[in-house]
Amino acid sequence: MIAKQTPFTKQMLSKLLRTSSSKPEQLKKIHALVLTSGLSAKNSLLTQLLEKLIVVGDMCYARQLFDEMHKPRVFLWNTLFKGYVKKQLPFESVMLYKKMRRLDVRPDEFTYPFVVKAISQLGVLPCGFASHAHVVKYGFESLGIVATELVMMYMKFGELSSAEFLFESMQDKDIVAWNAFLAACVQTGNSGIALEYYHRMCAGDVQFDSFTVVSVLSACEDQLTRYQGLDPQILHMAANRESLCLIRCTSLDKELNKGQICEIGI
């Protein structure tokens, strides 16, 4: 006599997902078990499966699973946005956002950092303007994480005046916002502006960190190289990165105290 197989329960499949490996094929087999056990209507199981698929980078199957879900929560939309951005699939992310709007799903404060980053990766300025308008419409423009991504997007698009205006408009800028703006200035070739804002940062008694130091020293290196013809290799003599930062900071402080680099706009 053949023993009757014990049916899978939600708890069993949930535990199986938690202990599963990071192999996409194994996750697909678990999905098949969810379907055949009649538990596919349980969005909590599909949520776990979706998150696992995104972690392992199988965005195609993750999107297929997402499209089969019944009225996914905004958290799941954001999870998929995050996966697309991480895998640098901006077109798919923007198209997903269009679908979100078409279905009248209301975004939250965690939606737009991913959407704006995707648009920045895509490089389409009109989409950037549209996303900014949507941010204002939903009242998220005052949130630091959203405003910071918008600032970085405008910097990447070369819209320096818009980026500066938005950054200046931010209330209670934290160190993350300052660092993002300084890094964006340096990356887009605006090292002089980065140094200008660094001085404003210091004047405002904002405590800097190691990320600030890296951006400021990169800006100084760019300025010194551009205006004094200094060989950048001289600034890379120290093997240890932290020692290099300390060396540069010490040299910068000495030069500032002597007033020897005033002519380059610092």
Hunting for tokens 């800028």 — which residue is that?
173
Q: Alpha helix locations (H) across 20-170?
A: 24-36, 43-56, 59-68, 74-86, 90-102, 111-122, 125-138, 144-156, 160-169
**pLDDT confidence of 11, banded at 50, 70, 90?**
low
* Residue labelled with tokens 């098949």: 32
Q: Would you list the domain boundaries of the chain?
A: 65-170, 173-266
Contacts of 106 (CB under 8 A, 6+ apart): 74, 138
Whether the pTM exceeds 0.85: the reply is: no
Instruction: Return the higher-pLDDT residue of 56 and 95.
Output: 95
Q: Is the pLDDT of residue 261 over 80?
A: no
pLDDT (tens digit, 9 = 90+) per residue, 116-168? Answer: 999 999 999 999 999 999 999 999 988 989 999 999 999 999 999 999 999 99
Tell me which fold the domain 65-170 belongs to: 1.25.40
> Quick one: pLDDT at residue 129?
94
Tally of CB atoms within 10 A around 28: 15
Contacting residues for 65 by C-beta, under 8 A, at least 6 apart: 31, 46, 49, 50, 53
Is residue 67's pLDDT more than 80? yes
- Give pLDDT tens digits for 77-112: 999 999 999 999 999 999 999 999 999 999 999 999
